[in-house]
Amino acid sequence: MPVYFNEKEVVLPGQLLSDDSKRAGEGTYVMDGKVYASTVGAATIRDGKVDVITFRGPYRPVEGDMVIGIVSDLKPIGIEVDLGGRITALLKIKNIRELASLNLKIGDVVYVRVASSGLRGVFLELDEHFRKIDEGVLLMVTPTKVPRLIGKRGSMINMLKKITGCNIMVGTNGLVVINGPSPTKEFAAISGIRLIEREAHSQGLTDKVLAYVSSLVSGEVGHGAGGKA
């Protein structure tokens, strides 16, 4: 079945995207067997599905998401973690001894998995993926831009890591931690991330990011470049 849009084309709510209802994905709805856009965004095909990626929107926790959060309170039943966007989650603990073993205090940054999300709230899971982040630069990007920042199979974020030599951790909720070998390379990574966020739906973005970040690392562009980094 054909699709009625170009890759990364900006579409409007109610716009016809496909004749095949089985291809309906994120940001779409089905009516009379056809797929329509349910929001303003960029239309794309991912894994055979028609998706509309919104330009802006709040983070909606989903089970299995890996998120970055800031410890906001310590309680006997668990640890409250601020995920941004007015979302507070609870990391459950077994007892006071387990709480003490984590050695967490208010303001600490953690990398953790979402165990569940629903009417009762958002709960986090203390498993092998849990990590306390002790150093780095913390920044927030629009949550809906996270898939573009990561890229297909991690292509975009891995490119940034390779060029800058920085360790970059990305939370599905839009919080990002950058830890690099020098302030200059951390600045280059941040600038690249901001460029991706601003131009997430533009054509040729990978090449543009590669050229821009490479120039920052080599010192060809001053710290004022990019305007919003």
pLDDT at residue number 220:
54
How sure is the predictor about 98, in pLDDT bands with cuts at 50, 70 and 90?
A: confident
Judged on CB neighbours under 10 Å (0-12, 13-18, 19+), 200 is buried
Q: For the CA atoms of 12, 16, 17, 19, what is the dihedral angle to 10 degrees?
A: 170
How sure is the predictor about 225, in pLDDT bands with cuts at 50, 70 and 90?
A: very low
**Distance separating alpha carbons of residues 175 and 146, to the nearest angstrom:** 9
pLDDT at residue number 203:
76
pLDDT at residue number 136:
95
pLDDT at residue number 229:
35
Query: Would you say residue 219 has pLDDT above 60?
Result: yes
Which helix (H) or strand (E) element contains residue 179? strand 175-179
Each residue of 19-55: pLDDT tens digit?
A: 999 999 988 999 999 999 998 788 888 888 999 877 7
Mean pLDDT for the chain overall: 89
Structure tokens at 227: 């305007």
pLDDT at residue number 1:
63
Q: What is the mean pLDDT of residues 184-191?
A: 96
**Distance separating alpha carbons of residues 16 and 118, to the nearest angstrom:** 31
Output the furthest CA–CA distance in the chain (Å, rounded): 59
pLDDT at residue number 7:
81
Domains of the chain listed by start with CATH number: 9-54 (2.40.50.100), 66-133 (2.40.50.140), 137-218 (3.30.1370.10)
Query: Would you say residue 228 has pLDDT above 70?
Result: no
Q: For CA atoms 138, 229, 114, 59, give the dihedral sign.
A: positive
Each residue of 2-20: pLDDT tens digit?
A: 889 988 788 888 999 999 9
Structural contact between residues 109 and 132, judged by C-beta atoms closer than 8 angstroms: yes
| Greater pLDDT, 154 or 55 | 154
In terms of residues, how long is the chain? 229
Q: What is the mean pLDDT of residues 179-183?
A: 95
**Distance separating alpha carbons of residues 42 and 55, to the nearest angstrom:** 8
Judged on CB neighbours under 10 Å (0-12, 13-18, 19+), 154 is exposed
Phi and psi, residue 217, nearest 5°: -65, -40
